[in-house]
């Protein structure tokens, strides 16, 4: 009990003394002699008007604003890119939403950084770091979007080649050479499917890319991105092989292939 009384009286005394430096009229009513040299102690006077002053950190805020502005521009470009890429695998809606969410979050974060009260650099550092670690616009969203764009292009090529293979299957008849070349074409298409998938099913390691999210430690994301890039290149080569096989079938059947 005596301990509680000591605590209460100490806090009250501290509040009164601190208040005296800011509002002398209130302090004058206590009957105590104000100490002119008294320095406010924020830890004790929390909630009163004597909170530590906000500091400008002008250069750091400006730098943060520039970083955010660059990222907003990049996010807009990525959105344009993914819209123009077509969507044979049906995953671009999620990517557009992720890019839009990143934009909204960065705008809000910038506003907080520019207008917020930072009494020390630690809090500002934490917020500015979030521009990088919380969004990973360049380290994740750029490669992620371009990987999906590449997959879209390959998916469109796969659809075209698949339609060509189906048409050629009805034309080869008993032409043994044409049948063999068509079989090779279908093998190449199956090879491509193993690496990127046959639309609308996104496959291979590329299938994991849409779900990648920003992280402080990007090790896993980078590994997934690199695996997807390898699969995309393998699929591209397989589809090019399929295209050449298709042209051979056309030549076998007596047309005049252009390539």
Partner 1 sequence: MRTPRRFDRRLGVLAVCGALAVGVAACGSGSSASPPRRPPSTTAAGPTTTGPAPAGPAPATAPAAASHEELAQVEQQLAGVPGLLSQAQQANSAADPDQARAAEGG
Which residues here bind partner 1, judged by CB under 8 A? 67, 85, 129, 131-133, 136-140, 142-144, 146-147, 149-151, 153-154, 156-157, 160-161, 163-164, 167-168, 171, 173, 218, 221-222, 225-226, 228-229, 232-233, 236, 239-240, 243, 246-247, 250, 253-255, 257-259
DSSP 118: B
User: Least distance from C-beta 246 to partner 1, angstroms?
Assistant: 6
Contact, 116 vs 179, CB < 8 A?
no
| 182-187, long-range: CB < 8 A, 24+ apart | 182/245, 182/249, 184/241, 184/245, 184/248, 185/161, 185/242, 185/245, 185/246, 185/249, 186/242
- Which of 20/212 has CB closer to partner 1? 212
* Helical H segments across the chain, by residue range: 2-22, 24-28, 58-84, 92-115, 121-133, 142-169, 176-196, 219-252
Contact, 225 vs 146, CB < 8 A?
no
In DSSP terms, 55 is beta-bridged to 118
* Virtual torsion, Cα 64, 69, 96, 149, nearest 10 deg: -110
User: Least distance from C-beta 54 to partner 1, angstroms?
Assistant: 25
- Which of 31/254 has CB closer to partner 1? 254
User: Least distance from C-beta 58 to partner 1, angstroms?
Assistant: 20
- Which of 98/225 has CB closer to partner 1? 225
Contact, 208 vs 228, CB < 8 A?
yes
DSSP 116: S
- Which of 164/198 has CB closer to partner 1? 164
User: Least distance from C-beta 167 to partner 1, angstroms?
Assistant: 6
CA 39/CA 88 separation, integer angstroms = 68
CA 120/CA 129 separation, integer angstroms = 15
User: Least distance from C-beta 141 to partner 1, angstroms?
Assistant: 9
- Which of 15/247 has CB closer to partner 1? 247
User: Least distance from C-beta 41 to partner 1, angstroms?
Assistant: 36
CA 144/CA 55 separation, integer angstroms = 38
User: Least distance from C-beta 20 to partner 1, angstroms?
Assistant: 45
């Amino acid at each position: 009990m005596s301990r509680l009384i000591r605590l209460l009286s100490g806090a009250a005394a501290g509040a009164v003394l601190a208040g005296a430096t800011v509002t002398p009229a209130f302090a004058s009513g206590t009957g105590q002699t104000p100490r002119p040299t008294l320095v406010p102690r924020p830890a004790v006077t929390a909630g009163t008007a004597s909170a530590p002053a906000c500091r400008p950190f002008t250069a750091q805020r400006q730098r943060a604003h520039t970083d955010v502005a660059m990222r907003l521009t990049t996010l807009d470009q990525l959105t344009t890119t993914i819209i123009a890429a077509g969507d044979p695998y049906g995953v671009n809606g999620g990517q557009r939403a992720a890019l839009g969410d990143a934009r909204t979050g960065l705008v809000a974060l910038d506003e907080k950084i520019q207008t917020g009260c930072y009494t020390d650099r630690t809090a500002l550092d934490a917020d500015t770091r979030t521009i990088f670690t919380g969004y990973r616009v360049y380290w994740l969203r750029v490669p992620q979007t371009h990987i999906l764009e590449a997959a879209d292009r390959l998916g469109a090529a796969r659809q075209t080649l698949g339609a060509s293979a189906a048409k050629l299957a009805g034309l080869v008849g008993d032409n043994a050479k044409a049948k063999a070349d068509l079989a090779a074409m279908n093998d190449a298409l199956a090879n491509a499917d193993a690496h990127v998938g046959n639309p609308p099913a996104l496959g291979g390691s590329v299938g994991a890319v849409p779900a990648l999210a920003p992280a402080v430690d990007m090790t896993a994301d980078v590994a997934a991105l690199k695996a997807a890039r390898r699969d995309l290149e393998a699929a591209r080569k397989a589809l090019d092989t399929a295209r050449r096989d298709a042209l051979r079938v056309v030549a076998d059947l007596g047309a005049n292939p252009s390539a």
